[in-house]
Amino acid sequence: MRLYFLLIVLLIVSCKSKTDNEKEVLLKNTVIEDTVRNDKSIIKEKEQKNKSFLFIDIGTVYFKGGSFTILNQTKDTIAYFKDKKVLINNKEYEIIEESGFYKNKLNCISFDPEYDLFILKYIGKKNGFYKVMINEEVGLIDIEKSRGLITLKTTEEYILEAYPKLNENTPIRVEANDSSKVILNYLNFTYLPLEIKGDWLKVKDDKECFIDQPSKTDIIGWVRWRKNGEIIIDIAHSC
């Protein structure tokens, strides 16, 4: 009888120990999952803060159908795009064919729907809206309603996907420093971006798009694209 009682006690203790171990393992796994989730959230938040430009896929809206609205901070409509039409100041325009009649009403980084260009300065997000600069004021774009039409890009991505337009104040140098030798006759050609190293952009002459005629030899060098945190070169989004 005593032996039977002892076996029961041992069984209960063993089960309790196993249950406690399972709880401990579950707790550890939960802590790990929460840590990983928080780390991913922090990384995503940091990545989000690095974004500087908001690209709108105006081509998809026009050719495949869709809509999005840009509001001001009082939630009044600045512009409403739907399919092939845009409504601005209660007047409707055809997005591409009549862009010349309304594009001056959209002061932003770049707007040329014929070339699928609609770029705004991105300044953050709040309460389910992207915050952008348009017409020298803060504009709001609903994140959920514009899903699939918006791409956020860093300043570096913006520069590498554009065409640098150089002038006398932004010469091409042999090396990435202000004391390096300036490449002669660099203003006679147009350029493509290759890579970024800090505040310097490596460029190469564009053989497909040129001012007078393409260079007979490759022109490769560095131009300072940023100074004191500000972009100092001119940027074009088409050749």
Is residue 108 domain-shared with residue 170, that is, in the same domain? no
* CA quadruple 233, 234, 236, 239: dihedral sign: negative
Domain range for residue 112?
Answer: 53-154
What's residue 210's pLDDT? 79
User: Do residue 147 and residue 192 come from a single domain?
Assistant: no
Structure tokens at 104: 């001056």
| Predicted pLDDT of residue 95 | 98
Listed in sequence order, the DSSP H helices in the chain are: 2-50, 58-64, 99-102, 155-160
In a domain, 35, yes or no: no
Residue where the block lists tokens 């409509």:
77
pLDDT at residue 33, rounded to an integer? 53
pTM to 2 decimals? 0.76
* 236: β partners: 163
Nearest 10 degrees: CA dihedral of 221, 234, 232, 113? Answer: -120
For position 134, what pLDDT does the model report? 97
Number of domains in the chain: 2
41 in any annotated domain: no
Assigned domain for 208 exists: yes
Together in a domain, 110 and 148: yes
* Distance between CA atoms of residues 182 and 174, nearest Å: 6
Q: What is the pLDDT of residue 22?
A: 56
132 Cβ partners below 8 Å, 6+ apart?
A: 54, 70, 108, 120, 121, 122, 123, 138, 139, 140, 141
Q: Please indicate, yes or no, if residue 188 is contained in any of the structural domains.
A: yes
Each residue's pLDDT, cut to its tens digit, for the chain (239 residues) gives 554 555 454 445 454 555 555 555 444 555 445 544 444 443 344 444 578 999 999 999 999 999 999 999 999 999 999 999 999 999 999 999 999 999 999 999 999 999 999 999 999 999 999 999 999 999 999 999 999 999 999 999 999 999 999 999 999 999 999 999 999 999 999 999 999 999 999 999 999 887 878 888 999 999 999 999 999 999 998 87
Q: The tokens 């980084």 sit on which residue? A: 109
| Intra-chain end-to-end CA distance of the chain, in Å | 96
109 occurs within a structural domain? yes
What is residue 165's predicted lDDT score, i.e. its pLDDT? Answer: 94
Does residue 130 lie in a domain region?
yes
Distances (CA, A) of 229 to 156, 180, 225: 12, 21, 10
